[in-house]
Amino acid sequence: MSIELVVAVAQNGVIGAGGKMPWHIPDDLKHFKKITTGHPILMGRKTWESLPRKPLPNRKNIVMTSQSLNVPPEVICVATIEEAIAAASEGEGGSEGGEKLMVIGGGKIYKLFEPYASCIHLTEINADIEGDTYFHITNSDAWQETSRETHPLMEPNSHHSHPYAFTTLVRIK
């Protein structure tokens, strides 16, 4: 099973502020949905609690936490990396197991899974933004950019708060 991170990050490493994304980029939400639909997704407790609609549809939702959570029966709670991978691989709860585990945050979960990831789907927000949760790639030499789709603010009818780029990185080391 491949492990892939899906993360939107500002230039200064911010990924969140007060349990929310501190920017408004509707196309990033569409991109996130396109990448993750049909695959198991893994998130930490705080990310789970921040979701406006839960569980996320058409994806096996897995929450990594050391705490007891009250979640719908189709949501799987795990405490370890091994349990997360096993849960993603199993076809339980009416959902297929997956070839990919999509890690969707937050900061502690990204840090925990980055050493095991083969790919990072990165939305780069071209701004320094205030926040309290961060993501930094620990070894940038281990990654190679394979695609980049840039979106400046000057696009007609743009409803986005900042310019951004969708970037895919694959592990080379």
pLDDT at 94: 45
Query: What end-to-end distance do the CA atoms of the chain give, in Å?
Result: 18
- Pairing type for strands 61-64 and 41-44 reads parallel
pTM metric for this prediction: 0.93
Share of the chain above pLDDT 90, in %: 87
Task: Give the separation between CA 131 and CA 86, rounded to whole angstroms.
Answer: 33
pLDDT tens profile 16-45: 999 999 999 999 999 999 999 999 999 999
92 vs 54: which has the higher pLDDT: 54
Compute φ and ψ for 80, nearest 5 degrees: -135, 165
**Does 12 have pLDDT greater than 80?**
yes
Q: Specify whether the CB–CB gap between 122 and 168 falls below 8 A.
A: yes
98 vs 1: which has the higher pLDDT: 1
Topology of the domain comprising 1-38+120-142:
Dihydrofolate Reductase, subunit A (3.40.430)
Q: Specify whether the CB–CB gap between 19 and 50 falls below 8 A.
A: yes
Mean pLDDT value of segment 73-77: 96
Mean pLDDT value of segment 131-141: 96
3-state secondary structure (DSSP) of residue 64: strand
pLDDT at 152: 86
Task: Give the separation between CA 163 and CA 151, rounded to whole angstroms.
Answer: 6
| Spans of all domains in the chain | 1-38+120-142, 41-95
pLDDT at 161: 84
Find all residues with CB under 8 Å of 58, minimum gap 6, and list them.
Answer: 37, 38
